[in-house]
Amino acid sequence: MLWNLIEVGGKEAIRQLAIYPEVVPHLVGPFELILRHGYKKDDKCLRNEICVLLNYIVQDTDSHPFFLPQAGESDDCILSQMISYAVFDETNSKISQPLFLITDEDLELKKMLWTQVFHVCNNPEKEDARQIMIK
């Protein structure tokens, strides 16, 4: 349904998705579930499609606060989770089973994760995003 909305509404539809606080967390939940428990190629394709939706949304700066810690929350936020996933295998080399393999789907996912991080951290108004990246 979101794909149809984006296809018909274009950039305005993406802008509308970016301003609602429910959209980003409700996309991240299934993304993480599939990332942790999905192992089939179809699971990886679905995970990547959700990440593509997030990449469309993150291009609108109105969505950036939803990737950052909300008032009263700890530093654990969607941006820090995306950074953790993007560097998981490199920083957790002692585990026996890597999170990502060298498949097209996994490499594409890592690229999309870094794209999300770049968009949020490149926003000049979001110094806290850069601080999360530095940590």
Task: Give ∠ CA 91-73-67 in degrees, rounded to 5.
Answer: 60
Give the integer Cα–Cα distance in Å for 35 and 49: 12
**So where are the chain's domains?**
2-134
Estimate the crossing angle of helix 23-37 against helix 41-58, to 10 degrees: 150
- Threshold 0.85, pTM exceeds: no
pLDDT the model gives residue 96: 64
Q: What is the pLDDT of residues 9-50, one digit of tens each?
A: 888 888 888 888 888 888 888 988 998 888 888 998 998 999
